[in-house]
Each structure stands twice: as structure tokens, then as C-alpha cells.
């Protein structure tokens, strides 16, 4: 993990970092790449700040990773930083999606459609691997004690294995988690 620089990053640095994140994580895995860039490589935030921003980004309406980019930009440079991060994150993926859509619509042959479907399927597999790797790495550093491990396992199994709705699991497990944290203080 890098050390936090004393000065604020430039708007250009925020923009180019999030262009890089947007390029590397097309198809998913955004949180992994964002953490790698912002915490490990640049040292703009530490793990606790990143996780707080990520949790907040999941609570507010909108796409979590876009919210996270706006959060990081705001923390670093205010409104201008938020705009720089948002534009950096979304510009290149938007161009790629428009181009892929154009190619898909204009390749009506079976070979053309199969190639694009295969490429998108491969990107999805990479995104799953990145998310799992980031989850394990963050869990090792931040989830300590039996109760947090049990709560994490219950949430993971409920959503990932048993297919329960995220909203329903959170409605049950958030109060349980808060009560457990309060009782173990």
C-alpha cells in the first residue's frame, strides 16, 4: 500500500486514473481496479476510507462504481474532482459500448454475433474473478473475530448460493450486524 501524498492530485491525474480504471474494468470488476489505483498505486485513500466510500456508494441511488468515482473525486478535489473522475470513468467505456453495439447490429452473420458474445462472456468471467480476489483481500485485512466472519458468511451464502434478494438479506442482516457490533463493544 502506498503512502498518501501531501498535496491534492491534479484534475488531469484524477481524470487519467479513472480513464485507466474504466479501460481495465470494462465488463465489471470496477471496485477491484478502483481500489488498486486509488489505495495501492496512488495512495490517495487508505483501505478504511475506501471501504467507507464504497459502502456509502452502495447506499445512495445510482450505479455503485460511478458513485464511488464521484465520492473519490469529491474527497480529492471537490466538485471539479467529482466531474473529472466521472468523465474519466465513463467516457471510454461509453465509446466502446457504442462501437460494440454498432458492430453487433451490423454483423448479422452467425460468426460475427458469436465472436461478440464470446468476448462479452470472457469479460464477465474476468470481472467475477477480480471481484472475488478483492473481496478476499479486503476480508483478510478488515474482517476479524468470529461474529463478523459468521455474518459475512451468512450474507455471502444467502445471496450467492441460495439466491435470496440483496434487499431482503440486508433488511435482516444489517440490524443483526449492528446489534452484534453494539453488544461486542
Instruction: Tell me the pTM.
Output: 0.58
Phi/psi at 5 (5° precision): -70, 155
pLDDT tens digit sequence for 120-177: 788 888 888 888 888 888 888 778 888 988 998 999 899 989 999 989 999 999 999 9
In this prediction, residues 96-110 reach a mean pLDDT of 75
Cβ 43 vs Cβ 2: under 8 Å? yes
Quote the CA–CA distance of 171 and 154 in Å, as a whole number.
13
pLDDT tens per residue across span 45-95: 999 999 999 999 989 888 889 999 999 999 999 999 999 999 999 998 888
Distance of alpha carbon 84 from alpha carbon 88, whole angstroms: 6
Q: How far apart are CA 51 and CA 114, in angstroms?
A: 38
3-class secondary structure per residue, the chain: CCCCCCCCCCHHHHHHHHHHHHHHCCCCCHHHHHHHHHHHHCCCCCHHHHHHHHHHHHHCCCCHHHHHHHHHHHHHHHHHHHHHHHHHHHHHHHHHHHHHHHHHHHCCCHHHHHHHHHHHHHHHHHHHHHHHHHHHHHHHHHCCCHHHHHHHHHHHHHHHHCCCCHHHHHHHHHHHHHHHHHHCC
Q: The dihedral of CA 81, 133, 173, 145: what is its sign? A: negative
**Cα gap 133→92, rounded to integer Å:** 25
Question: In the predicted model, is pLDDT for residue 4 greater than 60?
Answer: no
pLDDT of amino acid 111? 62
CA–CA distance, 79 with 70 (Å, rounded to integer): 9
Grid cell locating 122: 470472457
Amino acid at each position: 500500500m502506498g503512502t498518501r501524498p501531501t498535496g491534492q492530485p491534479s484534475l488531469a491525474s484524477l481524470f487519467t486514473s479513472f480513464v485507466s480504471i474504466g479501460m481495465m474494468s470494462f465488463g465489471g470488476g470496477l471496485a477491484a481496479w478502483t481500489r488498486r489505483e486509488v489505495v495501492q498505486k496512488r495512495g490517495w485513500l487508505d483501505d478504511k476510507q475506501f471501504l467507507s466510500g464504497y459502502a456509502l456508494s452502495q447506499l445512495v441511488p445510482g450505479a455503485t462504481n460511478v458513485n464511488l468515482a464521484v465520492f473519490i473525486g469529491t474527497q480529492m478535489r471537490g466538485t471539479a474532482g467529482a466531474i473529472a473522475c466521472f468523465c474519466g470513468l465513463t467516457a471510454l467505456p461509453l465509446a466502446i459500448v457504442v462501437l460494440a453495439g454498432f458492430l453487433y447490429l451490423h454483423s448479422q452473420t452467425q460468426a460475427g454475433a458469436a465472436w461478440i458474445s464470446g468476448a462479452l462472456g470472457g469479460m464477465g468471467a474476468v470481472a467475477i474473478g477480480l471481484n472475488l480476489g478483492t473481496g478476499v483481500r479486503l476480508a483478510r485485512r478488515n474482517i476479524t473475530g468470529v461474529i463478523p466472519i459468521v455474518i459475512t458468511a451468512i450474507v455471502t451464502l444467502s445471496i450467492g448460493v441460495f439466491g435470496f434478494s440483496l434487499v431482503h438479506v440486508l433488511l435482516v442482516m444489517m440490524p443483526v450486524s449492528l446489534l452484534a457490533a453494539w453488544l461486542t463493544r
